[in-house]
Chains A and B, each alone.
Chain A
Amino acid sequence: MTASVATEPRPASGTNPVPRILVFSTNNISDPGIDLAGSSHMHYSPGVRVIGLPCTSGIRPSWIVGALQAGFDGVFVASDGDECAYLHDCSKRSSAIVAAAQASMRERGIDPQRLRLAAICSVCSEPFTKHVQQFSAALAELGPVQR
């Protein structure tokens, strides 16, 4: 793991920092799935923080890039996938948002691997937990964002 930069969050214990992951969930589909992980008393990294929105297609690419610039190590889009109740082409729109964000990340020298998208359904507690744990491990490998 590369040396931490000054802005990198550092837990009090002084051990390696836990990667910070911002999750964009959706109020009706993926957020209930993430809630279910809690009701089922599953565990994942406390570096994971969730913002709920009505629909994945409403995410501004600037929020993703802004989060990575502000100190998050990765952004995980827990998307509606094909289950979106609002937009039949939600998956296509979400992919476009991710592509736009990754282009913007490249321009700023941020590794596009720091953004992941996966469809998380309303009972996908286990897949969600696995996704964020794997992502957290991958981000620990990548080290902090060079800002």
Chain B
Amino acid sequence: MTDQLVPAQPTPTTAVMEPPLADAAGGRRIGVYVCHCGGNISDYVDVEKVISDIQDSGDVVVAKTAMFACSDATQQDMVADIQAQGLDGLVVASCSPKLHTYTFRAVAGRAGLNPYEYSQVNIREQCSWVHTDDREAATAKATALVNAGISRTRLTTPLEPMVVETLPHTLVIGGGVAGLRAAVGLADIGLRVTLVERELQLGGWVGGFGAMYPHGRDGHELIATLVAEVRRRPAITVLTGAEVVGKAGSFGNYLVSVRIGGDGAAALEIAVGSIVVATGFESYQPEAGELGYGIDGVVTLPEFKALVDGSAGAASGAPGAAGSAASGSPLTWHGRPVRSLAYVYCVGSRQPADVEGANQYCSRFCCAATVQTAVQVAGLDPSIRQFHLYRDMRTYGKFEPLYTEARKTGSVFLKFAAEEPPEIRREAGGGLTVTVRDLLTERTELAIPVDLVVLVTGMVPRANEELVNVLKLPAGSDGFFNEIHPKLRPVETVVDGVLIAGACQGPKTSAESVASGLAAVTQSAAILKKGYTELDPLVATVHAPACTACGDCLTACPYDAISMSEGPDGHVAVISPTGCKGCGGCVPICPENAIDLLGYTDAQVSSMIESLVEVPA
């Protein structure tokens, strides 16, 4: 595996003014910015009091609040302060370090301050939002957290990131519409691609669909077009019937094991720089008895979509398509003509929070998909009566005209209350009866005789335990994979170089899946096209004079980053900065306390502990 080093790029430096003022008492010159986050912090924490309580720390030269610390204006303010005041340390107290560490490191860099002289303090996720009921205590805690940040910053030293070569090769997991489009995009941007699909065929859900909204474009054809594009690109290798079973290495240089041909088959090892996860969704499967599911004639949306697509194929004379010309009806179920049908919306979506494991989210695609299918049915036979039993109709954005079109083609819409769902029963005579209380007609109870009931089932996360374990993918409480930031870093995960795209992240339309697939392409390119990536220099170091060369640390590092070296005063342990992953596992192993993890040194952590326990006056 390549782990070659290229020379570190110097941090871009602008001219730094000479400090205009004499050094403050502590010798450091630290700037502190406490963020309101609109009101997300300042509604629950008295940020002005935090500022006044920390200002007396001798080496805090600048202490300000900001409405949004991450805004361009505040960033420019910070740069100006760092340069005008000759600051040598920066503390930003705002949100989680997962969101803006890189933002403020870059601010420091632009001002000519070493990015590692900055500390992030989390007073939102770990303070204001969890103490909304106690302003005084939240303010005291925020002050202690900021003081700990200042204590840490007093002991920072300038560090340079290590630069590691990255492989221009991306692994795409999932051959649905998002994964296929991402593969094409990655190849076009000049990266090699390996596309892994668990099934034997590419295409995912979209590959199984006929006409899709908004323009009635055929899903099979869409996928066929994409697959042809994939075939045209020699940079793409497609592995079907394949699963990712292992991952080793680190960001920029992952070694992935792919097993082809099921359990027991040999695994192929592929070296890649980044990974795009596009594993899609599963359709919600109703419980037996849930809204009549299990009764003959009660079907899910995908089952009905297949029926309609098949019938549409038969009507157009496509060979091998389903449907029954014998009955004279274009739409049949188990040989019986379907003359009327009812759709029940929001099945498996928007479930009340008190239900265990509730899917509280809206599945987003189903209103438009159902309305489009109803228009398709009306196209087969306009005399088929269609009743839509919905909670809220969400044919949002450009899909709204579909709803109007469905109404124009004869669909009837009835609104029911979430706490009073429709009841479905089979009559002795053979038909189905749907009973519903319609909110639009003064809660009139209606009994609608129909031939078929379609449960409009939403999306649920795909069961993918093995992949989650292999990639260490973080999932949200809804089971879909989590991005770092929904607006600012929408396809990145906390695992460096592992990106998510499509409906594995949450309910999406196929267009949205493709868009996020292309976002993952851009992010992959941003990581890999430079040919190198910067690794945090926050690695372990040995304080040589304290080392007795006992060798205890040698076995503590599974990455073999520690070796014994002959120094001027005998043997000492030496830690390779590129071999070190920065876990700190060797730190407590050393009986002489001779090892420190940069950024988390003994002195820094001890001073933070002192500050955190302190009771503000």
State the A residues within 8 Å of B (CB).
9-12, 18, 20, 22, 27-28, 31-32, 34-44, 46, 49-55, 57-63, 66-67, 70-72, 83-88, 90, 93, 97, 100, 122-123, 125
Contact = CB atoms under 8 A, between A and B. Distances in A.
Given A86-B583, A88-B558, 9 more contacts: A12-B136, A20-B613, A43-B133, A50-B126, A57-B585, A58-B597, A70-B610, A86-B581, A100-B588
B254 to A, nearest CB: 12
A87 B97 contact: no
Contacts of A42: 130
A10 B136 CA distance: 13
B474 A51 contact: no
B494 A38 contact: no
A40 B392 CA distance: 25
A49 B133 CA distance: 17
Which 6 residue pairs spanning A and B have beta carbons closest together? A58-B584, A38-B125, A86-B583, A46-B137, A38-B129, A71-B613
A66 B609 contact: yes
A51 B131 contact: no
A85 B498 CA distance: 14
What is the interface of chain B mostly: helix, strand, loop, or mixed?
A: loop
Contacts, number: 146
B585 A123 contact: no
A40 B129 CA distance: 8
A39 B132 CA distance: 12
A41 B538 CA distance: 32
Interface size on B, as a range, is: 35 or more
A77 to B, nearest CB: 12
Contacts of A97: 588
B355 to A, nearest CB: 16
Interface string B90-129: 0000001110000000000000000000000010111101
A37 B127 CA distance: 10
Most buried by A among B472, B474, B495, B602: B474
B484 to A, nearest CB: 9
B613 A57 contact: no
Contact of A28 (B96, B131, B144, B494): B494
Interface string B589-616: 0000100010010100110111011110
Contacts of A83: 472
A87 B584 CA distance: 10
B141 interface: yes
A12 B615 CA distance: 10
B366 interface: no
B147 to A, nearest CB: 11
A41 B126 CA distance: 10
Nearest to A84: B583
B476 interface: yes
A115 to B, nearest CB: 14
Contacts of A122: 474, 482, 494
B272 interface: no
B134 interface: yes
Given A43-B130, A51-B612, A87 B605 contact: no
Contacts of A43: 130-133
Contacts of A31: 96, 98
A59 B482 CA distance: 28
A54 B605 CA distance: 13
B609 A35 contact: no
